[in-house]
């Protein structure tokens, strides 16, 4: 889960970190889907209006851009 807080640490927004799209990695009959998120990193623009989440999932890395 990803939580966005106000400056007083009240929860402003709550959402799943991953968008559920695993089409970036071709799953064959012998492969299994691993939806475990690992090595998540978050970086943001100076005004905190846009941030990006990068993480490893299902044999590849994803990069999702979010805005507040």
pTM over 0.85: no
Q: How many domains does the chain have?
A: 1
Structural domain containing residue 44? 2-67
Digit-by-digit pLDDT tens for the chain (68 residues) are 888 888 899 998 888 877 777 666 655 556 677 778 888 888 988 887 888 888 888 878 888 888 86
57, burial (CB in 10 Å: exposed 0-12, middle 13-18, buried 19+) = buried
Predicted local confidence at residue 8, as pLDDT: 93
- Give dist(CA 59, CA 26) in Å, integer: 10
CA pseudo-torsion sign 13, 18, 23, 28: negative
């Amino acid at each position: 889960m990803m939580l966005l807080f106000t400056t007083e640490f009240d929860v402003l927004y709550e959402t799943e970190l991953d968008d559920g799209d695993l089409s970036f990695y071709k799953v064959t009959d012998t492969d299994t889907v691993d939806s475990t998120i690992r090595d998540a990193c978050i970086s943001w623009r100076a005004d905190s209006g846009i941030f990006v989440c990068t993480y490893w999932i299902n044999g590849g890395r994803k990069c999702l851009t979010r805005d507040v």
